[in-house]
Structure 1
Amino acid sequence: MDMRRRRRMLVAGALTVVALATTACASGEAAPTSSDDPAEVSGQIVWADYGGPTNEAFQEVFFAPFTEETGVEVVATTLAASVQYQMLEGEKGDYDTMMTGMAEVVLYSDNLVALPASVPRSDQLSADVAEYAIATPIIGYAQGYLASTFPGSGPQTWADFWDTETYPGKRAVPGEYSDFMFEAALLADGVAPDDLYPLDLDRATAKLDELKPDMVFYTEYPQVQQLLSAGGASVAFAPNGQFAALKNAGLDVTVSWDQALVEANPFVVPSRAKNPSATFALAEFLAEPELQAEFSRRTNYGPSSSAAFEYLSDDEIAALPNAPEHTEIIWADADNRAELYDEMSDRYTEWLTS
């Protein structure tokens, strides 16, 4: 079957299944199954990510209708760093595709499988990363807080995040991986966005020291929601999806996009994956703008295709990290972060324990 024709058929079926499933859930009826012939792939796909609401959105928007159309089951599992890195190093492992960061794609591209010609590349990523990314939620590492914490005007910039006199309260920050804390510290210290890279880790660490007495640390992202809702922190530095989860729970949350650090979390196919053909069939599905729009609508993570914005309202677009109107965001420099990859990890771990 022609690949483009197959993809059109899959997406048409997916949109129908998502709509019917939503209607069926509302009415209490079972959604009907498709009678189309499945695509010429088989077996199962082992998909590794961090679970939670984002995985649920992948399951509902992409996986369920894909399986409906092709018969290929997508088995989601929690990403284990040990397996992730052994596969990035070219060793055997259980995953057909797994979540990574842009720096990992740059570092380990020799052990990844490039996309076939049938899979559209993301127009939101640099070419060297887009060549390997089968699904790419765009994440904004931003500061967020409950509107009730600062009824007038809350912190907007990273300098404000560090200003506990004007904006009192604890700051929730990562307690295991650095994420983009080095970047936030440098911006708070007055480094201009255009001069942020290459990162000055000595200067960043000194700035982190200043705020450390007012920090509380989380080791799992959902803890951010608990810290903010229970008053354990007044402001949090976290992926924007955590703030979206609070909004979905009915809380009034403010997210500042001023100098938010934006990063893609590409899913890649390691060279030792067992079922790349089925995984790339799924990749065609994941690239469809209509489905990406629905995923973004549910998670507030940005689409990897700019065409997806055509299927979203202005208010929905405004909640996404890579919204065209967010001209003040800062895209992470994957090349510089790759060069400093081990050093950033070592320095942050040392700083946490000092």
Structure 2
Amino acid sequence: MGKKKLRGMVIVSALSMIGFTVTACAADEAAPAGSADPAVSGQIVWADYGGPTNEAFQEVFFAPFTEQTGVEVVPTTLAASVQYEMLEGGAGDYDTMMTGMAEVVLYSDNLVTLPAGIPRSDQLSADVAEYTIATPIIGYAQGYLTETFPDGGPQTWADFWDTETFPGKRAVPGEYSDFMFEAALLADGVAPDELYPLDLDRATAKLDELKPDMVFYTEYPQVQQLLSAGGASIAFSPNGQFAALKNAGLDVTVSWDQALVEANPFVVPSSAQNQEATFALAQILADPELQADFSRRTNYGPSSSAAFEHLSDDEIAALPNAPEHTDIIWADADNRAELYDEMNDRYTAWLTS
């Protein structure tokens, strides 16, 4: 059976499932809010950061969904001003948008829970999975061109800070902290099981040590440019940037030792205008076989463990949440939510100091 035909069957089956859920609840006055109508229409405004990840979403999920339903998925570059207005309950154009786990914890009152019948991610805690319709699993790791360290490169965050053994500039985020505080604490000897709650004073002091050897990027694709052009010997980045270099034919090594792992979920804000169609799309986003195709293209992990059944051993090994990666560290969304503003303020001040 061809992949196009298979995807069509998946979509029809998914829409039928949604229709069954709505029909079954029609006489129930307590039917869950946001349950989808099988006769979906209009368009879905999808907000993310663009690039190869968005292209993979379009090719794997959006194109067949639009072909079967007539609903166009319109990608747009995520604007923080619109994102936070909607997270805080205000109006905006997005039907679904990418965000972080801390934001889900902080703003869940203004997010729509998934209707019955839509599979939840089994890679997230149940209370968070209730709000997420697509949850690529991201690894914030260090990576480098293999030829840069032919005798073996850095493995741990202590190695990342060791510019004598592993010389060269370090590419790090120059706008948002991402997980630099965690990396700094691990480099300073904090045990993974004692990482949270974060000691921001200690982390900032450790960041100061490496600052003369850092180069800063403000957009993720700049990671690829810095490594390929020799502007940095090692980069701290979401692992998808390393996958893009591999897809371009470069030999890249990624260290999963103490990599910080988190979902970058897509959520449906309460003010979203086309929730019905968005939840129809959510059924497709949850399909394990399509998730495997997405992971194969991006090296971001699937939100369903069943997707691993459709991937080879080598393909699984490239994913952050591969079962064999026993040394990864799942980020603590609750602690990061508590420190949300302070982390942003601290990192911004540190960058300009």
Q: Normalising by the residue count of structure 2, what TM-score does the alignment of the two structures yield?
A: 0.90
Aligned partner letter, 1:154: G
Separation (CA, whole Å) in 2 of partners of 1:272 and 1:147 = 47
Partner secondary structure for residue 66 of structure 1? helix
Output aligned runs, 1:141-152, within 5 Å. 141-152=140-151
Query: What displacement does 1:177 show?
Result: 0.1
Aligned to 1:154: 153
Aligned to 1:112: 111
| Contact 2:11/2:68 (<8 A) preserved | no
Separation (CA, whole Å) in 1 of partners of 2:338 and 2:66 = 39
Aligned partner letter, 1:42: S
| Contact 2:12/2:68 (<8 A) preserved | no
Deviations along 1:285-344, one digit per CA (max 9) or x if unpaired, are: 100000000000000000000000000000000000000000000000000000000000
Aligned to 1:174: 173
Separation (CA, whole Å) in 1 of partners of 2:42 and 2:9 = 20
Aligned to 1:10: 10
Alignment size in residue pairs: 325
Aligned partner letter, 1:135: A
Output aligned runs, 1:306-321, within 5 Å. 306-321=305-320
Aligned to 1:243: 242
Deviations along 1:18-68, one digit per CA (max 9) or x if unpaired, are: xxxxxxxxxxxxxxxxxxxx9521111000000000000000000000001
Output aligned runs, 1:49-198, within 5 Å. 49-198=48-197
Separation (CA, whole Å) in 2 of partners of 1:96 and 1:66 = 16
Aligned partner letter, 2:128: V
Output aligned runs, 1:14-33, within 5 Å. none
Output aligned runs, 1:195-274, within 5 Å. 195-274=194-273
Aligned to 1:281: 280
Partner secondary structure for residue 140 of structure 1? strand
Aligned to 1:339: 338
Query: What displacement does 1:152 show?
Result: 0.6
Unmatched tracts of structure 2, length 5 or more: 1-6, 15-36
Separation (CA, whole Å) in 2 of partners of 1:258 and 1:166 = 18
Separation (CA, whole Å) in 2 of partners of 1:257 and 1:228 = 18
| Contact 1:10/1:66 (<8 A) preserved | no
Aligned partner letter, 2:297: R
> Cα gap change, 1:13/1:57 in structure 2, threshold over 3 Å: closer, same or farther?
farther
Query: What displacement does 1:128 show?
Result: 1.8
Partner secondary structure for residue 142 of structure 1? strand
Separation (CA, whole Å) in 1 of partners of 2:155 and 2:334 = 28
Query: What displacement does 1:9 show?
Result: 3.3
Aligned partner letter, 2:40: V
| Contact 2:48/2:98 (<8 A) preserved | yes
| Contact 1:13/1:65 (<8 A) preserved | no
Aligned to 1:48: 47
Aligned to 1:22: none
Aligned to 1:31: none
> Cα gap change, 1:12/1:41 in structure 2, threshold over 3 Å: closer, same or farther?
closer
Unmatched tracts of structure 1, length 5 or more: 1-6, 15-37
Partner secondary structure for residue 236 of structure 1? strand
Aligned partner letter, 1:88: L
Q: CA RMSD in A?
A: 1.4
| Contact 1:46/1:77 (<8 A) preserved | yes
Q: Normalising by the residue count of structure 1, what TM-score does the alignment of the two structures yield?
A: 0.90
| Contact 1:39/1:69 (<8 A) preserved | no
Partner secondary structure for residue 132 of structure 2? coil
Query: What displacement does 1:8 show?
Result: 8.5
Separation (CA, whole Å) in 2 of partners of 1:214 and 1:66 = 47
Separation (CA, whole Å) in 2 of partners of 1:11 and 1:198 = 43
Separation (CA, whole Å) in 2 of partners of 1:167 and 1:8 = 50
Partner secondary structure for residue 109 of structure 1? helix
Deviations along 1:203-253, one digit per CA (max 9) or x if unpaired, are: 000000000000000000000000000000000000000000000000000
| Contact 2:8/2:68 (<8 A) preserved | no
Query: What displacement does 1:129 show?
Result: 1.2
Separation (CA, whole Å) in 1 of partners of 2:322 and 2:185 = 24
Aligned to 2:24: none
Query: What displacement does 1:271 show?
Result: 0.3
Partner secondary structure for residue 166 of structure 1? coil
Aligned to 1:35: none
| Contact 1:98/1:269 (<8 A) preserved | yes
Partner secondary structure for residue 134 of structure 1? strand
Separation (CA, whole Å) in 2 of partners of 1:211 and 1:13 = 53
Aligned partner letter, 2:127: D
